[in-house]
Amino acid sequence: MTTEPSIESRGEVSWALARVAKLHRQRADELLSKLGLHVGQEMLLNVLWTQGEMSQTELADRLDIQPATLTVALKRLEKSGLIVRARDPEDKRVSKVQPSYKSGELRNGVMLAWSRLEHDSVAGLTDAEQGMLKILLNKVAASLSEDQIE
pLDDT in tens, 78-118: 999 999 999 878 888 888 999 999 999 999 999 999 999 99
> Which architecture, in CATH terms, is 39-113?
Orthogonal Bundle (1.10)
pLDDT beyond 70 at 150: no
Q: What is this structure's pTM?
A: 0.83
pLDDT in tens, 107-129: 999 999 999 999 999 999 999 99
- 77 near 45, Cβ under 8 Å? yes
pLDDT at position 148 is 53
Compute the distance between CA of residue 7 and CA of residue 20 in angstroms, rounded to an integer. 16
